Amino acid sequence: MTSHSDRQVRFRWSRLHRASFLAVSGATAAALIAPPIGAVPAFATDHRGRWAVQDHDGTAGHRAPWRGDLVSSTPLTTLADRADVEAFLRAQSFDAGTVRYGVSTFRLVYRTVDAHGAPTTASGLLAIPENDNGRLRPVLFAHGTQIFKGDAPSTSSDGFLTGPPITFAAAGFAAVAPDYLGLGEGPGPHPWMDVPSETTASLDLLRAARSFLAGRGTQLGRDVLATGFSQGASAALGLGRALHDGADPWFRLGALAPISGGYDFQNAQIPAMLDGELHPKFSVAYTAYLLVAYNRLHHIYDTPAAMFQPPYVDVAELFDGTHQGLEVLNGLPDTLADLLTPQGFALLAHPTGAFAQALTVLDSVCSGWAPAAPFRLYYSPGDEQAANLNSIHCQERFAAGGRRVRLVDLGVNRDYSGFVHEGSELLGTAAIVRWFLTL
């Protein structure tokens, strides 16, 4: 017999992912992960301990001239007037109180670098207001975790993905939402939780959007208002850090507003998953994706059998971008005890070697820099996927570095999926667009 909890999980997967993507939270996405030894990193630490953007040839402070070049643009959807936008947002459970304009969306494909710094392409969504403004302020919204390639802002009609950028565009901003590498129309597997590549993909999308809008006679402003949910919370911080450190001669950091991120894996997120404080099924999904993605980037184990129990030794195949959400969910066990070997548990509980090194970099997203731009951290109490302690530790780390950050309690909204985590995107988007309008 199916329990209420089981029905709720399945409801969440089927409703949240009409295109069947796994929105396993970016709780596990707070990653500033370095490429494998021998690869050229997208980021490196300079002599002052700051993070410097590098291009594919490893030259700090200089980007390859082709990065951000627009490959193609495709018109997607036009919500012609305020009434159309309001109806769309309300149907997706988003707040429509800041709608001022109709909205048009486009898919942009552009040139960027992959997780190892080599040339590649990526795609992303651009949403702009239907008005006559000749200059638009940019908002970047970084989305939460997905595993199916087609479930990305520019290739999916799922309102949970497109609702935030459409909200910002309808309020008068130019909103960009990167698909990240390997999702949407980007080639290869998605390097999950790799904040450096999320950052380069985001920055290069901003460059492509600026070029696209210039061709339409519209200037994209300099000050980027960066926000993101779950996985995208850390991606937004990564972009903010790059802009803060002068990664682009045009764009600057205007404000930061991440929602429900996983900013401290070693001391908050992993312990909460191992101790059963978070939802067990999502903890299984996050843990499997974490180990698979880290092994691709860092080679943290020699054989899957060292980490995963039979019959889950082939679990990496579920995370190749071709499997939709329900298929992945059904292919995973219900508990970590059924997924992991003793060695797998030991590695998570007491990271060593390349895994420990990667997690240390992962957990540095809130330390080592002190943005001067307006900055707020958003969370919902009782989040069952991203432990609230992540946000508390992030606030504390910025404070230790001299930057006091306001931690905003959004309250709880379960209207979309029945889960607090997804509800925080709805609440956070509504709160953040209002805040951005005051800046």
Domains recognised in the chain with CATH numbers: 43-262+367-376 (3.40.50.1820)
Share of the chain above pLDDT 90, in %: 80
In this predicted structure, the answer to whether residue 47 has a pLDDT above a threshold of 80 is no
Q: Please, what is the angle between helix 280-298 and helix 353-362, to 10°? A: 110
Segment 378-386 mean pLDDT: 98
pLDDT of residue 10: 38
Q: What's the CA gap between 186 and 110, in Å, rounded?
A: 9
Q: Look at 39-53, 267-281, 298-312, 402-416 and tell me which has the smallest mean pLDDT.
A: 39-53
Q: Which residue is listed with tokens 């459970």?
A: 93
Segment 299-315 mean pLDDT: 97
In this predicted structure, the answer to whether residue 8 has a pLDDT above a threshold of 80 is no
Local confidence band at 21 (pLDDT 50, 70, 90 cut-offs): very low
The first and second tokens of residue 37, run together, are 């030894």
Q: What's the CA gap between 377 and 151, in Å, rounded?
A: 26
Rounded alpha-carbon distances, angstroms, from residue 122 to 39, 51, 90, 294, 435: 20, 23, 30, 21, 30
In this predicted structure, the answer to whether residue 252 has a pLDDT above a threshold of 60 is yes
Per-residue pLDDT reduced to its tens digit, 397-421? 999 999 999 999 999 999 888 999 9
Per-residue pLDDT reduced to its tens digit, 197-227? 999 999 999 999 999 999 999 999 999 999 9
Local confidence band at 14 (pLDDT 50, 70, 90 cut-offs): very low
Q: Are 188 and 102 in contact (CB under 8 A)?
A: no
Q: Are 168 and 186 in contact (CB under 8 A)?
A: no
Contacting residues for 96 by C-beta, under 8 A, at least 6 apart: 85, 86, 89, 90
Local confidence band at 39 (pLDDT 50, 70, 90 cut-offs): very low
In this predicted structure, the answer to whether residue 318 has a pLDDT above a threshold of 90 is yes
Instruction: Tell me how many degrees the CA angle 72-74-79 measures, rounded to the nearest 5.
Output: 150
Per-residue pLDDT reduced to its tens digit, 66-111? 999 999 999 999 999 999 999 999 999 999 999 999 999 999 999 9
Query: HEC profile for the chain?
Result: CCCHHHHHHHHHHHHHCCCCCCCCCHHHCCCCCCCCCCCCCCEEECCCCCEEEECCCCCECCCCCCCCCEEEEEEEEEECCHHHHHHHHHHCCCCCCCCCCCEEEEEEEEEEECCCCCEEEEEEEEEEECCCCCEECEEEEECCCCCCCCCCCCCCCCHHHHHHHHHHHHCCCEEEEECCCCCCCCCCCCCCCCHHHHHHHHHHHHHHHHHHHHCCCCEECCEEEEEEECHHHHHHHHHHHHHHCCCCCCCEEEEEEEECCCCCHHHHHHHHHHCCCCCHHHHHHHHHHHHHHHHHHHCCCCCHHHCECCCCCCHHHHHCCCCCHHHHHHCCCCCHHHHECHHHHHHHHCCCHHHHHHHHHHCCCCCCCCCCCCEEEEECCCCCCCCCHHHHHHHHHHHHCCCCCEEEECCCCCCCCCCHHHHHHHHHHHHHHHHHHHC
In this predicted structure, the answer to whether residue 5 has a pLDDT above a threshold of 60 is no
pLDDT of residue 108: 98
Q: What's the CA gap between 87 and 437, in Å, rounded?
A: 22
pLDDT of residue 415: 86
Q: Are 68 and 401 in contact (CB under 8 A)?
A: no
The first and second tokens of residue 137, run together, are 């302020």
pLDDT of residue 406: 98
In this predicted structure, the answer to whether residue 1 has a pLDDT above a threshold of 60 is no
Q: Look at 54-68, 173-187, 240-254 and tell me which has the smallest mean pLDDT.
A: 54-68
The first and second tokens of residue 23, run together, are 């929105």
Per-residue pLDDT reduced to its tens digit, 330-379? 999 999 999 999 999 999 999 999 999 888 888 888 999 999 999 999 99
The first and second tokens of residue 323, run together, are 């499997």
Rounded alpha-carbon distances, angstroms, from residue 273 to 24, 87, 265, 345, 384: 13, 38, 10, 11, 10
pLDDT of residue 62: 56
User: Which residue would you say has higher pLDDT here, 411 or 21?
Assistant: 411
